[in-house]
Structures are given as C-alpha cells and as structure tokens.
A and B are shown apart, each in its own frame.
Chain A
Amino acid sequence: MSQRVVHRENMGHLFDALAQEGYTIVGPRVRDHAIVYDELDGVNDLPIGWTDEQDGGHYRLRRRDDEALFGYAVGQHSWKKVLYPPRTTLIQVTKANGSLQFAQTEAPETRYAFLGVRACELAAIAIQDRVFLGSGQVDRTYETARRDVFTVAINCMVAGGTCFCVSMETGPRCTSGYDLVLTEIIDVGIHEFVFEAGSESGQRVLSMLPGREATDADATTVDRIVEKTASSMGRTMETEGIKELLLANLEHPRWEEVAHRCLACTNCTLVCPTCFCSTTEDTVTLDGVSATRSRRWDSCFTMDFSGLHGVPVRSTTKSRYRQWMTHKLATWFDQFGSSGCVGCGRCITWCPVGIDITEEVAAIRASLETVT
C-alpha cells in the first residue's frame, strides 16, 4: 500500500477529502479540561499543542512546547461511544384494545470517519467486533454503525503515563484494521505526517491529499518514533499464563485487599474500550398507551447487576472487582479467544483511587512466587 508525506499546512485537505467522501468526522478535541472524541469540522478543532499527563487517578492536560496535532495519548472516551452508544432505543410498544404491538427502531445510516485511532483502540474495536458480530448472534445496532466506518489510525508519538500496549501486544504500531495510518513527525523546522493506506478507500482518500512520496528516511523516522514510544510505556503487565493464574486464585486475599480501596464507582467499565455490558430499560408514557425498551451501558460493579429475585449474587465489592478483572484478563479468552485488555491504561487513569490493574496482577503473581 502506498505512502505519502503530507505537510502540516495541508492537513486541512484530509478533512475536505473525508467530507467529500460523505463522512462525518469524529476525532479528538479539547473540552472540559480533557481530550474527548466528538464531531470535528476542521483541523483547528484538534487538540493542537496539547498533551496529557496521566497516572493512577490522575489526568491533566498540559501545553506542549510545540504545535503537534496528536501529541497526547487517550482520554476517557473510546470509540465504543459511537459504535455502541451509551443509550439506544430498541423497541417501541403500543397498547391498543388490549393488544400489544411491537416495532423495532431503525438505526440511522451515518458514515463516520474516525480520526486519530490509536493502535490499542484498533485492537479494542477488533475485540468488540468479535463480541457483537463474531459470537453467533449479530448485534444489528453495532453492525450498522460499524459497517461504513473509515478509520484514520495514528502511530503514537507519545506513550501515556498509564499505557502498557507493549505488554498486551496491541501497539504502539498500528498493523491492521485501518484505512489510513499516519505518523506525525515534528521537529525543529519540520512538521509533516507520513500517511500509509491500509485499504482501497484509504488509497482513494490518500490520493486526494497533496504530498510527496515517502522515502526510506521517512520510514526510518517512523520506526524511530514508534520505538521511542514503545520504550517509554507507563506500565507493564506480565501476561504469561495470566488466565490460569487468576482462575486458580479466585479466593486469593488480594481480592479482599483491593476491595477495601475500590469504590465500585464503575468508572473503569465506562472508560474501558472493550467493556460491553448493558441493561434494558423500560419507560411508559403517562397515559399507559406506549412504552419503550432501550439499552443502556451497565457495569458489573453495580450492586444490582447480578440481582437474582431481588438479591445480588455478587453483593461484596470484592466479588465484583474479581468478576471484572477475571473476565477482562481470563475468561475473555474462553469467550472470545483473546484478552479483553488492550493496555490503554484508561482504567488506571480514571479510577478515583488509582487502582492499577497491572499492579493487581503483579501482586497476585508475586505473592505466589514467594510461596515455594
């Protein structure tokens, strides 16, 4: 697939090309002191010159000393908010003369272009593709949203403070699942973007961007940037035998220990790009004539998530934390053939008390290694 180097001044053409192709562009912008994903109209909507400072329970935006367009890691949003919206109306019910009529809603056909998808996020989308499309039943809402998405991926130039995509083997280099991938090169006197097409649609858009041919030197620069990012990960996780490790230690005292800190606030599940649990909600109009069934994001951390005849099966925070972590890192393998974690670090950053999934795994491992 061909490559092209586009100068910073010409990046507006990317927006024009995508708009011309009929896409609504969704990408990063600064809002409420964070970098969120939302509709973008042009280059100037991007978080130009911003970076993020992340650690356990800590997220701050900081000004960079340059005007990089993509010089940050990931914020609290992930692409699941587009592909799998937080609240979705599913069914309308009308009651007339004692009869019930059920009608399904139709998902609108919107063509989205995702701009700024990190390697970890490509992996997360692929994981949710397996959940919603590849496990027997197909979720039509997800399928409709997913169908025509144009993905512009990014090779990260900065590793986030809580990132560990290297440990999870999901990045930082984007290898597949994109239409275009770009790497931002910014230095004294240089500000350009090495684009590579990953599909025919990507090729078509690429041909609409003014630029020069990429050289071997450009490729080397990209390698260097990726290598630098890879070597500055904020966290690591030893993944060898992790499924067996966790499933053999369901009564480990560490679960009790983390439960003392965990608030069961559900932030981690909200920001996790692969978490997919939902619930159904029913609303009725006051006249009792029509009702709606909708789907809403849910979290295994809530008390009534596991409610059986009104009584939760997992009533302790310990059992709920254990459920989340063993699902994410262990039983996900049985269900979907891979880990559920892509190493994006969001759960660490957005946990109000800074619980760190990599630290929890390390603690269980360490405690078992000392006992021999």
Chain B
Amino acid sequence: MTSAARSEPALGAAEAMLPRPFRVISTHSETQDTVTLELEPEDGAALSFLPGQFTMFYVFGIGEVPISISGDPLSPGTLVHTVRSVGAVTAAAVGLSVGDQVGIRGPYGVGWPVGAAEGKDLVVVAGGIGLAPLRPVVLDVLARRDRFGVVSVVYGSRSPGDLLFEEDLHSWRSRFDMEVEVTVDRANDSWLGDVGVVTGLLPRIAFDPTKTVAMLCGPEIMMKVVASELALRAMSPESVYVSVERNMKCAIGFCGHCQFGPDFLCRDGPVLPYAQVADRLRVPEL
C-alpha cells in the first residue's frame, strides 16, 4: 500500500467515473472543423438533460472532455453533440463514423435559466461554437413559444463558412415570432449579410430591459462586451447569464481543475449570473 518499493496504483471504486456506451448514429459536418454527432445509448436509457448541461465524452484510449449538449431537450432519446476539433479527444470525435462507440457520463452542470425567462423577453447571444449550448434553449422555448415574450437570437461567427446549424437558422429566421440576427467577423465575396461584431446587432433587437433574461455564450471577451452593451440598455447584470469554460477532468467536483474563483464550474456552473462573475472575468488569469 504505502511502501515506497511498491509503485503500482491503488484500486478505486469509481461508479461516478464510469461511462455509458453510446453509438454514433449520424454525423453532420457543420464547418471544416466542427461536426454534429447524434448518438444513442447502448442500454436504451435516454439521457435527459437541461439546456446548458454537458456530458463528459470519452474516446477509447484517448481521453475524456466536456462537450455541451446541443440537441433538443424534448427528444432526449438521441444525444446530440456539436464538437469542434481543438485537441486530441475532439480531433478523434470529429473523425468518428456511424457505428463507432464512445463513452458518455452525465449530464452535468447548472443549465440556462429557461424557467426564469417565462413571461419575459428572451435575448440569446451566441459567438462561434457558443451557439451549440444555446441551441437547446431555442428549441425548448419554441416548443412552448406562448410562454415567452419577445424572443431574439443574435449570432456572430467568424465567417459565412463557419456558421453552425444553418438549417435551424433559416427555419428560425422564417418565423414571425422571433428575431434572428446573424453577423460574421469577415465576409466572403458572396455574403450579403451583416459584417461586424455581435454588439453591432444589439441595437436592432427590441426587448423590455426590466423584463428580460439574456443568455450569452461565446469567447469571454465577447460575453463581456455584450454584457456591457446590455447594461447600457438598462439590463441588470442579475438578468444576464453567461457560460464560463475551464479545464475539466472529473465533472463531479473532485479534481479541482474547473475552479473559477470559489465556483466549481462542473457543479456550480457552467452557467452563472453575470452579476456573480463580472469582477472575476476582469482579473487576468484567474
């Protein structure tokens, strides 16, 4: 056990770290580095989740990473993940084929306060891959549209080729009961949509700042400037929610990697009220 001569690892009881096997049933290439995977549980037990939650996604022999669930919470039988290739595990994930199996743990995390937005206006602002964890919010809201006031989705992407969920965007834009504004940082030669940062689109959307919930997801700089812009529109930081991202290894509050100030993002987040984290987001390398 503790003898220095013995170096083999101890054995641990670890049911909370035990993944469930899921099989890939479809893959869809969103952009040149992002793929949406649809998966089904081998044991048939649907993974019910709340918008904003994530799973720990395990690829055999490579490792496990947190990935937001990007599917419809009303159809939990199919687990949907939109994965961007940024490291070893995600590179393997975007290369998966139909029939491949992975390990899934979860769902984990505090999700978006969709319930708190009922009876109010809703502003969803997404940047880049940040639209993935917000997509379940939009689907959830549209399934019971009458419970919400004015619904606006503002989405900024790097370029027209990097837009996610194009089919959804088109279908949302064609509705009369929601406002969708899309912009890119850099255009191509055929793009006739907006060009510029997402904050430029905010003046276009109408909402009652005293009765609105805003949900922001994207790079931290983007979330900060959008939150500032919303503050100028008289929105209280208590009604603005952001999704903060950090390294995660266990997702169950033990490994310590996801700490952001006092919060364990796997358990106290990743969705947090901006009022609670605004100061922390201003401290470099916190």
- Touch test A–B (CB under 8 Å): yes
**Considering the chains assembled together, what is the distance between the CA atoms of A310 and B91 in angstroms?**
12
Q: Which residue of A lies closest to B64 (CB)?
A: A280
Contact B13 A305 (CB under 8 A): no
Contact with B along A118-154 (1 / 0, CB 8 A): 0000000000000110011111110110000000000
Determine whether A315 belongs to the interface, using a CB cutoff of 8 Å to chain B: yes
Contact with A along B212-254 (1 / 0, CB 8 A): 0000000000000000000000000000000001110110111
Name which of B96-104, B144-152, B156-164 contacts chain A.
B96-104
| Given known A309-B87, A316-B285, contact A144–B99 (CB-CB < 8 A) | no
Name which of A51-59, A103-111, A233-241 contacts chain B.
A103-111
Name which of A81-89, A185-193, A214-222 contacts chain B.
A81-89
**Considering the chains assembled together, what is the distance between the CA atoms of A331 and B261 in angstroms?**
7
Contact A99 B10 (CB under 8 A): no
**Considering the chains assembled together, what is the distance between the CA atoms of A6 and B205 in angstroms?**
81
Contact A313 B285 (CB under 8 A): yes
Name which of A15-23, A288-296, A349-357 contacts chain B.
A288-296
Chain B residues in 8 Å Cβ range of A135: 253
Q: How far is the CB of B19 from chain A (nearest CB, A)?
A: 5
Contact B11 A106 (CB under 8 A): yes
Most buried by A among B1, B42, B101: B1
Q: How far is the CB of A132 from chain B (nearest CB, A)?
A: 7
Q: Which residue of A lies closest to B280 (CB)?
A: A250
Q: How far is the CB of A64 from chain B (nearest CB, A)?
A: 25
Chain A residues in 8 Å Cβ range of B247: 305-308, 313
Chain A residues in 8 Å Cβ range of B20: 102
- One of B255, B259, B261, B284 near A279 (C-beta < 8 A): B255
Contact A310 B12 (CB under 8 A): no
- One of A95, A294, A323, A334 near B60 (C-beta < 8 A): A95
Interface size class on chain B is 35 or more
**Considering the chains assembled together, what is the distance between the CA atoms of A306 and B255 in angstroms?**
12
Contact A305 B257 (CB under 8 A): yes
**Considering the chains assembled together, what is the distance between the CA atoms of A251 and B283 in angstroms?**
8
Determine whether A101 belongs to the interface, using a CB cutoff of 8 Å to chain B: yes
Determine whether B44 belongs to the interface, using a CB cutoff of 8 Å to chain A: no
**Considering the chains assembled together, what is the distance between the CA atoms of A89 and B12 in angstroms?**
6
Number of interface residues of A (CB under 8 A): 77
Contact A137 B63 (CB under 8 A): no
Most buried by A among B245, B249, B267: B249
Determine whether A278 belongs to the interface, using a CB cutoff of 8 Å to chain B: yes
**Considering the chains assembled together, what is the distance between the CA atoms of A31 and B5 in angstroms?**
12
Q: Which residue of B lies closest to A247 (CB)?
A: B261
Chain A residues in 8 Å Cβ range of B19: 91, 102
Q: How far is the CB of B219 from chain A (nearest CB, A)?
A: 11
Contact B21 A99 (CB under 8 A): yes
**Considering the chains assembled together, what is the distance between the CA atoms of A279 and B283 in angstroms?**
25
Contact B259 A276 (CB under 8 A): no
Give chain B interface residues in 249-286, CB to chain A under 8 Å.
249-250, 252-257, 259, 261-262, 264, 267, 283-286
Chain A residues in 8 Å Cβ range of B58: 293
**Considering the chains assembled together, what is the distance between the CA atoms of A31 and B18 in angstroms?**
38
Q: How far is the CB of A274 from chain B (nearest CB, A)?
A: 11
Chain B residues in 8 Å Cβ range of A39: 1-3
- One of B100, B246, B256, B283 near A276 (C-beta < 8 A): B256
Q: How far is the CB of A364 from chain B (nearest CB, A)?
A: 16
Contact B14 A90 (CB under 8 A): yes
Chain B residues in 8 Å Cβ range of A175: none
Contact with B along A208-229 (1 / 0, CB 8 A): 0000000000000000000000
Chain B residues in 8 Å Cβ range of A108: 11
Contact A298 B285 (CB under 8 A): no
Q: Give A contacts to B, CB under 8 Å.
A: 24, 26, 31-32, 36-39, 81-82, 85-91, 93, 95, 98-108, 110, 131-132, 135-141, 143-144, 250-251, 276-280, 282-284, 288, 291, 293-296, 298, 300, 305-310, 313-316, 318-319, 323, 327, 331, 334-335
Q: List 22 A-B contacts (CB under 8 A).
A: A36-B4, A85-B1, A86-B9, A89-B10, A90-B14, A98-B100, A100-B102, A104-B18, A106-B13, A107-B12, A107-B13, A137-B16, A138-B16, A140-B13, A141-B10, A279-B255, A282-B63, A291-B61, A295-B14, A295-B17, A300-B256, A306-B246
3 closest pairs, A vs B, by CB? A141-B12, A277-B256, A87-B9
